[in-house]
Amino acid sequence: PGNIEGTDFTDISAGATRVCALDSAGTISCYQNPVFVNQLVPPEGSGFTSLAVGYQHGCALTAEGQLSCFGDRYIRPLTTFLP
């Protein structure tokens, strides 16, 4: 959506139709093409330290080492990718 003033981003990751950014507080924001019905909704809260976004999924890691994944479960369950 253009520049986002007043936000200090520390990490960014892009998928096929979306991009997610991690700010200095550890909060995730995602932006995507509005044409697509399946919206990628990031986890709420702060304290995330890194993130990765793929075609229909995203995962974020907390400072405590907890993994939080989000995305379209219709395509493939997220547990398919986790050990």
Q: What is the residue type of 4?
A: I
pLDDT at 80: 47
Is a pLDDT exceeding 70 seen at residue 77?
A: no
Q: Does 17 or 48 have the greater pLDDT score?
A: 48
pLDDT at 36: 66
pLDDT tens readout for residues 3-37: 555 578 899 998 887 889 999 999 998 888 777 66
At residue 61, φ and ψ (nearest 5 deg) are -115, 135
Residue 80, SS3? helix
Triad 38, 81, 40: Cα angle to 5° = 20
Q: Does 57 or 49 have the greater pLDDT score?
A: 49
pTM as predicted: 0.74
